[in-house]
Chains A and B, each alone.
Chain A
Amino acid sequence: MSVGLSRRGRTLSPNRLLAYSAALLITVFMLFPLYLIAAAALSPRSAVFDYPRALAPAPASLDSISFFLSSHGILPALGRSLVVGLLTVALSLALGSPAGYAIARYKFAGQDLVQLLIVVVRAFPVVILAIPLAVTFINWNLYDTVVSVAIVHTAIALPFTVLLTASVFLRVPTELEEAAMSLGSGRLGAVWRIVIPLSRQGLGAAALFAFVLSWNEVFAAAVLTVRNPTLPAQVVTSLGQSPLPFRFAGGLALTIPAVVFIFFMRPYLFSAFAREGR
C-alpha cells in the first residue's frame, strides 16, 4: 500500500507526514531501550543507586562489564555457550542441509507432508521437550554437559536449517549441476564443486542462524544443566541473587550479538523467519 503519493515528491502530504511520524515513533521504541541497556551497563557500579539516573553515563566505564565477566562462573559459562553454539551449528548443518537439498531437488511422495511437519515442529512448544530429555540424558550420563544442550538446540534449530538450506539450494539452478555431471562429474562431485561454493553465503546464514538460536535459548539450557550452565542459563538462574550492575552488564552482553547478527542476516531475514507466512 502506498502512503499518500505526492506530485513529483516535492511536497510532504499530510498522509506522508503521518507515516514518517509513525515510523519514527516505532524506531524510537525499538532503539531507545537498546541505548538504555548500554548506558546502564556502561555506568560504573557505584552509579547504580544514583537517582534520578543520568540518561548518559558520564564518564562511560567498563567497571560493570568487568565485574560481570569476573563474576564466578561467567567466563566458563561464556565458553560453554560458544561450544554449544558451534556444536549446534555443526550438527544442524550436517543433518539439515542434506534434507534441505532433497527438498529443493527431488520430487518425492509426501513432500507436502514433510513441509507441513517442519512447520508443525516449528510451532511445537519446546518447553515440553526439555524435561523428558533431561530424564533421558541422566540415563545416558549426558546430563549437565554441553553435548546434551547442543542436542536439544539442534532439535529446535533443525526445522529452520532445513527450510533455509532448501531455499538456498533452490537458488542454484539445476542446470548447473546437470552441466557438471554431463562433463563427467558425479552427483556428489557436482554438489561439492558447484552447489556448495555457490551456496556458501546462504549456508553461512543458516549456520549463523543456528548459532544465535542456541546462544539465545534459555529454558532448555536451564533445565538440562546444573553445574555446567551456558551463559543465559547462568544468568537466569542467578538472577535472584545478583546485583543490578551484573544484570545490566549481562543484558548488554546477551544483546550485542543480536544487533550484529541481524545486520549480517538482513538478506536472509525473510527466508529464515517468514517462510510459513506465505
Chain B
Amino acid sequence: MLAPAAIFMTVFFAWPAVQALLIAFQTTQGTFTLANFQSMFHDTDFLRSLGNTLILLALIIPIETSIALGMAVLAQSRLRGRSVFLYIWSIPLAVSDLAAGLVWLSVFTSHGYLNSILQDLHLIQHPIGFLDYNNLSSVVAAVVIAEVWRSISLVMVIIMSGIQAIPSELGEAAEILGASAWHRFWRVTLPLLKPTLQVALILRTIAAFQVFAVVLALAGSALPVLAVKSESWVAEYRNFQLGATYAVMILVLSSLSTVVYLGLLRTPREVFQR
C-alpha cells in the first residue's frame, strides 16, 4: 500500500533532487564542471540576492516566532471569543505568497492605503515611495511585514499543538508551588516547547530561503533574492544550469540551517522519553 506513493515520490521527488545536483555540476554535454558555480558567483546579482535573502530571513524568523508564541499562549488562555480569534488568525494559513504580496501591495504602493492614511492624518505632505528601489530599507520592511503576516499562522498552529501536548497539571503544579504566570511560561512552558520550536524554526527557515512571490509582488526586481534569480534564469533566459545552481545553493543553505538548529536546540534525550 505504501508502494505507489513511494514509487511516485522516488520518481518525482528524490530523482529530481539528485538531478538538480547533476544539472548544477554538469555542462550541457554532461561532463562534470564547476563552471555553473563560477558563473553564479560572478553573476552581478548573486551577492545581493544572497544578502537580501539572509537579511529577510534574519528579520522574519525572530519576529514571527516571538509573536506567534504570544498568539499561541493567548489562543490557549481562557479568553472569551477565542474560537473567533483563532479562526481569523488562521486565515493566512491558506493565503498563497503571491496573494499575500498583492494584499500588502495595496497597502504599500505609492498611492496605496498607508500613504493615504498618513496623508489623511497630515503626517506627510507627499506620498512616500515605500517600494521604490532606492528606498531599500522600506522595501525590506514591506516584504518582512507581508511574509510575517502570511506565515505567522503556521508557526502559531505548530506552537499551539506543542503547548496542547504539555499536560495542564504541570502548569498547575508550578502554580501551587508559587510560580507566577511569567515564571510558569519561562520555567515550564518554554523549556518543554523546545522540540516544537525546533520544528517550527526549521520548517520556516527552509521556507524563508525560498521566499519568492511575496518579493516579486511587492518589490519586483528591486530586491533580488535567490529563489527569484533561480526562476528567472530558467523562465527568462532558459538557462537551466544556472537556475539549478541557484536552487542547489538554497538547498545547501537550508541544510546548514537545519544542522545549526538541531545543534543549538538540543535537549537531553532523557527528558522526552516516556
Residues of A that sit less than 8 Å from B by CB: 1-5, 15-16, 19-20, 22-23, 26-27, 29-31, 33-34, 36-37, 39-40, 48-55, 94-96, 98-99, 101-103, 114, 121-136, 151-152, 154-155, 158, 162, 212, 215-219, 222-223, 232, 235-237, 239-240, 244, 247-248, 250-251, 254-255, 257-259, 261-263, 265-266, 269-270, 273-278
Residue B248, interface by CB 8 Å: yes
Q: Contact: A262 with B91, CB < 8 Å?
A: yes
Q: How far is the CA of A177 from the CA of B93 in the complex (A)?
A: 35
Q: How many A-B residue pairs have CB under 8 A?
A: 297
Say yes or no for B266: interface residue by CB 8 A criterion.
no
Q: Are A219 and B212 in contact (CB under 8 A)?
A: yes
Contact of A128 among B71, B91, B97, B250 (CB under 8 A): B250
Task: Tell me which of A4, A125, A151 contacts B209 (CB under 8 A).
Answer: A125
Q: Which single residue of chain A is at the shortest CB-CB distance from B96?
A: A216
Contact among A1, A22, A33 for B149, CB-based, below 8 A: A33
Chain A residues in 8 Å Cβ range of B12 = 129, 133, 151-152, 154-155
Looking at B77, B95, B111, B157, the one whose CB has the most chain A CB atoms below 10 A away is B95
Contact A22 B70 (CB under 8 A): yes
Which B residues lie at the A interface, using CB under 8 A? 1-2, 4-6, 8-9, 12-13, 15-17, 19-20, 22-23, 67, 70-71, 73-74, 76-79, 82, 85, 87-99, 101-107, 109, 111-113, 115-117, 119-120, 127, 149, 153-154, 157-162, 165, 171, 181, 184-185, 189, 196, 199-200, 202-203, 206, 209-210, 212-213, 216-217, 220, 227, 230-231, 234-235, 240, 243-244, 247-248, 250-251, 254, 258
Q: How would you classify the secondary structure of chain B's contact residues: helix, strand, loop or mixed?
A: helix
Residue pair B248, A158 in contact (C-beta under 8 Å):
no
In the assembled complex, the CB of A74 is this many whole angstroms from the nearest CB of chain B, namely 14
- Beyond A30-B92, A269-B157, A273-B93, list 20 extra A-B contacts (CB 8 Å): A3-B181, A5-B78, A22-B74, A29-B149, A30-B149, A37-B106, A52-B120, A98-B2, A121-B13, A124-B206, A136-B19, A215-B96, A236-B213, A237-B235, A239-B217, A240-B220, A247-B105, A259-B91, A274-B157, A275-B161
In the complex, which residues of chain A have a beta carbon less than 8 angstroms from the beta carbon of B22? 132
Determine if B199 and A131 form an interchain contact, defined as CB atoms under 8 angstroms apart.
no
How far does the alpha carbon of A251 sit from the alpha carbon of B213 in the complex, in Å?
A: 12
B159→A251 contact, CB < 8 A: no
Q: Once the chains bind, are B13 and A258 in contact (CB under 8 Å)?
A: no
The answer to whether A263 touches B234, judged by C-beta atoms less than 8 angstroms apart, is: no
A20 to B81, CA, bound (A): 10
- Chain B residues with Cβ below 8 Å from A261 are 94
A131 touching B244, Cβ below 8 Å = yes
Given the complex of chains A and B, what is the CA–CA distance between A205 and B144 in angstroms?
Answer: 31
> Which residues from B are CB-within-8-Å of A132?
15-17, 19-20, 22-23, 244
CA of A48 to CA of B110 in the docked complex: distance in angstroms?
Answer: 11
In the bound complex, residues from chain B placing their C-beta under 8 Å from that of A128 are 16-17, 20, 244, 247-248, 250-251
Q: Note all chain B residues with C-beta closer than 8 A to A136.
A: 16, 19
Do A123 and B203 have beta carbons less than 8 Å apart? yes
Pick from B20, B92, B160, B203: contact of A276, CB below 8 A: B203
Per the bound structure, the CA–CA distance linking A212 and B157 in Å amounts to: 18
Whether B202 and A123, one on each chain, are in contact in the complex, defined by CB atoms closer than 8 angstroms, is yes
Minimum Cβ distance to chain A for residue B190 (Å): 10
> B250 near A158 (CB under 8 angstroms)?
no
Q: Are B91 and A258 in contact (CB under 8 A)?
A: yes
16 intermolecular pairs with C-beta atoms under 8 Å apart: A23-B82, A98-B5, A101-B1, A103-B2, A124-B206, A125-B209, A129-B20, A131-B247, A155-B13, A218-B97, A218-B98, A218-B213, A219-B210, A248-B106, A258-B94, A274-B160
Report chain B residues within 8 Å CB of A218: 96-98, 212-213
Q: A29-B149, A129-B20, A273-B154 are in contact. Are A23 and B99 (CB under 8 A)?
A: no
